[in-house]
Amino acid sequence: MEQDKNLYGKIVAQTINDRVMSEVDYLKNKGVYPKLTVILVGEDPASKVYVRRKEKTSQKLGIISETIYLEEKTSEIELLSLIDKLNADRENHGILVQSPLPDQINENKIIIKIDPAKDVDCFHPQNVGLLVSGNPYVLPCTPAGIVEILKYYDIAVSGKNVVVLGRSNIVGKPMANLLLQKNENANATVTVVHSRTNDIEFYTKNADILIAAIGKAHFVKKDIIKEGAVIIDVGINRIEADNEKGYALAGDVDFEDVLPKVSRITPVPGGVGPMTIAMLMQNTITTAAFQNGIEIKK
Ligand code: GUN
């Protein structure tokens, strides 16, 4: 039988969720009821799906969840004053404003308005700074989820050549910073390549671990990877399809094409996706504990 090369984020997420559930109990025994508030502005269909998933997972794990739906035409000032209110609410420990936001709202202004103590996304410059300087408070959700997958499957990262494809603030940049940390789950030699990189293949062909977060369906093919590479596919792209919905989801990696050449690979769906929410739940515990002066032992 063919060896199963898949890295199942779904399974790893379950182990994180189990830990979070016991931490929720621990906090509740101390009188703290962890609560996450998610704000969705507008009608983006993919965002609606993500926000519902976050709510469902919170409820499953015993985290109080509130989702605030705001109209597409909501002004920046309205959103900023809502964040002010949530920052001041001692019963609320985490604030997530779902991205992307409508054009009239400057995302950077929103990010810096959120109290860093409640920043479950790790988007606030204070939290990004703590990560970069090697003393993180919360962790960036998707990158931290990828580290958990590598850890669970015993994939050595220390000393390896890791190439991150994409330089977004949400995945590429924090991913690189997390893998540069001085610890056994990191210690990687990290290269970030992006749309303006000359000769992307030069780097990807030398990658022991390739993390694709470029937002282009099936960008990674077998001819640009190293034999035996570990491939992590962060992409969730909508491509036209001849089905009821009219679209299908495709990763940044051409799975069938690269499969014979890789040692391990995350599928889409069921790979990285479930980890993002699991790590968000973990961050909510971190913020709830911190705001109440409680230490969670790891
Ligand atoms: N949009 C897509 N993924 C995310 C995420 O992890 N956090 C936020 N705030 N918005 C997103």
Contact between 82 and 92 under an 8 Å Cβ cutoff? The reply is no
Q: State phi, psi for 21 to the nearest 5 degrees.
A: -60, -40
For the segment 24-61, what is each residue's pLDDT rounded down to a tens digit?
A: 999 999 999 999 999 999 999 999 999 999 999 999 99
For the CA atoms of 220, 131, 93, 67, what is the dihedral angle to 10 degrees? Answer: -20
pLDDT of residue 66: 98
Query: Residues near 282 by Cβ (< 8 Å), separated by ≥ 6?
Result: 16, 19, 20, 139, 144
Q: CA separation (Å) from 40 to 70, 74, 104?
A: 6, 11, 15
Residue among 35, 98, 226, 282 flagged as catalytic = 98
Q: Is 59 a catalytic residue?
A: no
Q: Which of 95, 98, 122, 275 to mutate to test the pocket of ligand 1 (most atoms within 8 A of CB)?
A: 98
| Dist CA 246 CA 231 (whole Å) | 28
Q: Is 85 a catalytic residue?
A: no
Q: Please give the angle made by the CA atoms of 205, 207 and 213, to the nearest 5 degrees.
A: 100
- 37: Cβ below 6 Å to ligand 1? no
Q: Are both 30-130 and 141-275 of the same fold?
A: yes
In eight-state DSSP terms, residue 101 is -
Nearest CA to 238 among 256, 252, 224? 252
Residue 25 buriedness (CB in 10 A; 0-12 / 13-18 / 19+): exposed
| Dist CA 77 CA 91 (whole Å) | 23
Q: Is 121 a catalytic residue?
A: yes
pLDDT of residue 78: 98
| Dist CA 16 CA 271 (whole Å) | 14
Question: Which pTM was predicted?
Answer: 0.97
Between 125-132 and 172-179, two packed helices, what is the crossing angle to 10 degrees? 30
- Residue ranges of domains in the chain: 30-130, 141-275
Q: CATH homologous superfamily for 141-275?
A: NAD(P)-binding Rossmann-like Domain (3.40.50.720)
Contact between 230 and 263 under an 8 Å Cβ cutoff? The reply is yes
For the segment 250-264, what is each residue's pLDDT rounded down to a tens digit?
A: 999 999 999 999 999
Percentage of the chain beyond pLDDT 70 is: 99
Name which CATH class applies to 30-130: alpha beta
| Dist CA 275 CA 71 (whole Å) | 29
pLDDT of 265 higher than 90: yes
